[in-house]
A and B are shown apart, each in its own frame.
Chain A
Amino acid sequence: MTHLPYIVAAYGLTLGVAAILSINATLRLRQARRRLAAIEQPRTRQPS
């Protein structure tokens, strides 16, 4: 492979950005779900 550094850089960059976007979305979703559950729980416990 004569152009190995270019190929490695292209794949590394693509997979790196994909990983950052995926992890960011997962953590944000998890945090939002936890916050919503924490806020909604006391509301559901209130007597009607």
Chain B
Amino acid sequence: MNATQSLTARTGNLFHRYANPGRFLRMGAKLQPWLTWPALVLSVAGIVWGLFFSPADWQQGDSVRIMYVHVPTAWLASSGYMGLAVCSLLSLVWRHPLADLAAVEIGPVGAAITAVCLATGSLWGKPMWGTWWVWDARLTSVLVLFFLYLGHIALIRAFDEPQRGYRAAAILGLAGAVDLPIIKFSVQWWNTLHQPDSITVTGAPTMSTSMLWPLGLTTLGFTLGFAAIVLARLRASVMESRVRTILAANRGRQSATAPQPERATS
């Protein structure tokens, strides 16, 4: 029990070292260009390669090129929510202040990326399957993920007292993580119209390396881009919070030094 407590405390101390806003802003400013510029270069290289230099699929023709934007957004929709769930855990267990702010900022970016994933999937599905949408296990579980993001965005801003919103949204963030393995294994557990994964951790990829390279570039570029956008939003959020704190302190100081109205003595 003591060992568990000390491990929890030690882990908490490790995370809280980066909770200092000044330290975070300095670290974030240094990290920002290392995320932004590689994201831009890799994304542009991957998109140009995928659009103009990678081969067309023997079955799908040129519409396979939608894969170079659809797969990275699908990966980011899930991994972004995983980031949200980690922030929720940090918030609930260690009351980490930056984890709450990060959760606020990941939500809208993750929701936008999930919407793009669903839309590009539809744009790929229409010429290939002949329909924009089917209530297939993979598509439906990603739609549920989109609604989880929207629910998180609404819940975290729903309370006048921000801490209550952070707690409620963190519980939703953790509970919603159940959807992630469902998305991952939906194509194996159910008979779906969506194709099975072409790239797995254990097996060899089932696609040509001439397609795998641009896909890898866009996936890495989009991931760095997602991290860069979230970091920029988080830095802005920390600065805004600092501005609010300074203004509140100034108001408190002014009201303390202001002359008090004289009370009538009876």
Contact = CB atoms under 8 A, between A and B. Distances in A.
Interface in A1-48: 1-4, 6-7, 9-11, 13-15, 17-18, 20-22, 25-26, 28-29, 31-33, 35-36, 39-40, 43
B136 interface: no
Most buried by A among B126, B222, B243: B243
Nearest to B237: A32
B63 interface: yes
A17 B70 contact: no
5 contacts: A7-B62, A7-B65, A13-B119, A29-B236, A39-B247
B130 to A, nearest CB: 12
B232 interface: yes
B63 A3 contact: yes
B73 A14 contact: yes
Given A9-B123, A35-B243, A43-B246, A2 B61 contact: yes
Contact of A3 (B51, B127, B239): B127
B236 A28 contact: yes
B51 A11 contact: yes
Given A10-B120, A25-B232, A32 B239 contact: yes
Interface of B: 43, 47, 51, 61-63, 65-66, 69-70, 73, 109, 112-113, 115-116, 119-120, 123-124, 126-127, 222, 225, 228-229, 232-233, 235-237, 239-240, 242-243, 246-247
Contact of B63 (A6, A18, A22): A6
Contact of A6 (B112, B126, B222, B239): B126
Contacts of A10: 66, 69-70, 119-120, 123-124
A1 to B, nearest CB: 5
Secondary structure of the A contact surface, majority rule: helix
A25 B105 CA distance: 10
Contact of A36 (B43, B65, B229, B243): B243
B259 to A, nearest CB: 22
Interface of A: 1-4, 6-7, 9-11, 13-15, 17-18, 20-22, 25-26, 28-29, 31-33, 35-36, 39-40, 43
A25 B233 contact: yes
B48 to A, nearest CB: 11
A33 B116 contact: no
Given A7-B51, A32-B237, 20 more contacts: A7-B63, A9-B123, A10-B123, A10-B124, A13-B116, A14-B116, A14-B120, A17-B116, A18-B222, A20-B112, A21-B112, A22-B228, A25-B229, A28-B233, A28-B236, A29-B235, A29-B236, A32-B243, A39-B246, A43-B246
A26 B229 CA distance: 8
A43 B124 CA distance: 56
